[in-house]
Amino acid sequence: MGSTSDKVSGMANKAAGNIKQAAGKATGSREMQAKGKMQEIKGEAQQAKGKAKDAVKKLVDKA
């Protein structure tokens, strides 16, 4: 996966995770809240991976 696709996938997972958390809070489902939080964290990690790829590419391009 490229850096852009990692960042886009990360944003999508963060958004879906936030929606699941809100739905879990609305319905009182702690399980859904936990799954939403896990998905949000996964999204944050994907975004960080994409940003790291960008940083490495910039360093390589400078060399």
- The position carrying tokens 């790291």 is 52
Q: What is the pLDDT of residue 1?
A: 74
What are the φ/ψ torsions at residue 29 (nearest 5 degrees)? -90, 105
Q: What is the pLDDT of residue 54?
A: 94
Q: What is the pLDDT of residue 62?
A: 87
| Residue 2 confidence class, pLDDT cut points 50, 70, 90 | confident
pTM of the model: 0.85
* Joined tokens for residue 60: 């390589």
Are the C-beta atoms of 18 and 12 separated by less than 8 Å? no
Per residue in 21-63, pLDDT (tens digit) is 999 999 999 999 999 999 999 999 999 999 999 999 999 998 7
